[in-house]
Amino acid sequence: MLMNGSVAIVTGGANGIGEAVARHLSKQEVKVAIVDLDQESIDRVVGEIKVAGGQAIGVKADVTSEADTARFLDETIAAFGQLNVVVACAGIIRDSTMLTLDKATGKVSKKMTIEKWNDVINIDLTGTFLTLRDAAERMVNGGWEGLLVPISSVNKVGQIGQLNYSSAKTAIELMPKIIIGEFLLRGIRNIRCVAIAPGYTETAMLKRMNQDVLNAILADVHLGRLISPDEIAGLIGYCMQNRALNATTIEITGGLCYPRGIAK
């Protein structure tokens, strides 16, 4: 796929990994739409991309809403004439163990709330589904070369305290094979799907994690540090250009090995 002149949508594009992807692609002359709930950050990122000579629009939208999803896709196509790449970065964490026991009695004192479960499933999983489904619809109908990039996580293997998040991210890992298998059956040849599964990445999301748990996890990263959002952005740019990458999930973790097991 040619970078120059392609059109990309990045959900969650106003901060963190999505912001780095939007900035990176705009430097390669990809026209980008930044979709997010955070209007102030949308304005900041769109403004800075334009000052640097790139082309960008911002759309405030909630990825859990079907109406918003249709709107941000249609506004992007109206602005730039086509759609080629969709990076579904919008996501949250709401960590909690499923059960918490009272130390004195050994009885259950707290449970993961239905709100924590639903918020993560709705934004991370259902939001990704809606973004990919409705983007693919428009790519098929428009006949444009397309790439769908859902964002999984290294925690797809099952992280204690993230039953909600790991469940969503393992489901996302399956999406490329299911979607491309379906496209093969249906004769849809113009769209690829490659999921990215980042390891622990230096964004605001990690500031909401238990920092002791994070430091313990970093001891198992061969690279010895958090990975940077720019390193993920560069990989997504490469995925655009290499048509052989398809129907797979690529891990980018700095070598997270869990030599002492997954349980932390």
Active-site residues, by number, are: 165
Residue 158 or 181 having the CB closest to ligand NAD: 158
Question: Residue 80 Cβ, how far from ligand NAD at the closest point, in Å?
Answer: 20
Of the candidates 9, 83, 90, 233, which one interacts with ligand NAD according to CB under 6 A?
90
Question: Residue 66 Cβ, how far from ligand NAD at the closest point, in Å?
Answer: 13
When asked if residue 91 is in the footprint of ligand NAD (CB under 6 A), the reply is yes
When asked if residue 36 is in the footprint of ligand NAD (CB under 6 A), the reply is yes
Of the candidates 6, 24, 54, 64, which one interacts with ligand NAD according to CB under 6 A?
64
Distance CA 11, CA 61 (A): 9
Q: Which range, of 36-44, 95-103, 174-182, 256-264, touches ligand NAD by CB under 6 A?
A: 36-44
Residue 135 or 144 having the CB closest to ligand NAD: 135
> Which residues contact ligand NAD (rule: CB under 6 A)?
11-12, 14-18, 36-38, 62-64, 89-92, 123-124, 127, 151, 153, 198, 200-201, 203-206
